[in-house]
Amino acid sequence: MSGAPDDTTLTEAGLAPRGQGRILLIACGALAREILDLKAANGWDHLDLACLPAKLHNTPDRITEAVRAAVAKHRARYDRLFVVYADCGTGGQLQAACAEMGVAMVAGPHCYSFFEGNAAFAARDEFTAFYLTDFLVRQFDAFVWQPLGLDRHPELRDMYFGNYEKLVYQAQTDDPALTEKARACADRLGLRFERRLTGYGDLAPTLASLTA
């Protein structure tokens, strides 16, 4: 991830020994920058972070077992664990696994929903919208363009995106350079561009509720 520690560093560095009130966040690597920013801004020193690879988004069937393994690895060192994933395409399996393990998780179907606010997102009728977050704008080629094979077969673009009408950039930060990059992503996909400054949405109050 550009501009942030890699997944291994986030997973291994800074994990405190078991102590009263310490909470470990087991999170998607795509949320690392946002979680670290919120921790720093709010002084949430009781929260530690272990990130799983963001590339699991491309294989959601592997997310649940990866979270299970992370919980097993870290449970003994922390008073409490919290999973910073939404359902993320697991078809309810992640929620069921977390309930079985006695671990709470972020509410919502995916990060696009909780960044906008789950209630607000659910009220929208946007089946023809394709969403990007700050992370996905930065990593557009690695997480969208190349996995779909568009770097090799650009003629497939309309097959993949012909039923979409717009690209919605959910901006966590007010960054003109990222906005222009997001606009360029929309142009590459042949979609109308819309930007929404969502900030951290439901993620901020969710993490704030994890008191020491």
Query: Could you tell me which residues are beta bridge partners of residue 27?
Result: 51, 84
| 147 HSE (CA, 13 A, CB side) | 11
Residue 104 scores a pLDDT above 60: yes
Residue 31 domain flag: yes
Together in a domain, 73 and 121: no
- The pLDDT of 126-137, averaged and rounded, is 96
Residue 79 domain flag: yes
The residue ranking higher by pLDDT, 22 or 145, is 145
Residue 83 domain flag: yes
Minimal CA–CA distance to 35: which of 26, 9, 55? 26
Residue 8 scores a pLDDT above 80: no
**Domain tally, the chain:** 2
- The pLDDT of 87-109, averaged and rounded, is 97
Q: What is the pLDDT of residues 36-65, one digit of tens each?
A: 999 999 999 999 999 999 999 899 999 999
Together in a domain, 15 and 97: yes
Pure H helices in 75-212:
93-101, 111-116, 118-122, 134-138, 140, 157-161, 176-189, 203-208
- The pLDDT of 93-117, averaged and rounded, is 97
Segments forming the whole domain that contains residue 75: 7-112+202-208
Together in a domain, 29 and 107: yes
160: number of Cβ within 10 Å: 14
Together in a domain, 107 and 144: no
- What rounded mean pLDDT belongs to the chain? 91
Provide, rounded to the nearest whole percent, the portion of the chain with pLDDT above 90.
86
Residue 212 scores a pLDDT above 70: no
Together in a domain, 20 and 62: yes
CATH number at residue 35: 3.40.50
Residue 1 domain flag: no
Together in a domain, 104 and 173: no
Contact 167, 130 (CB under 8 A): yes
Together in a domain, 97 and 128: no
Residue 182 domain flag: yes
Hey, what are 87's tokens?
């359902």
8: number of Cβ within 10 Å: 10
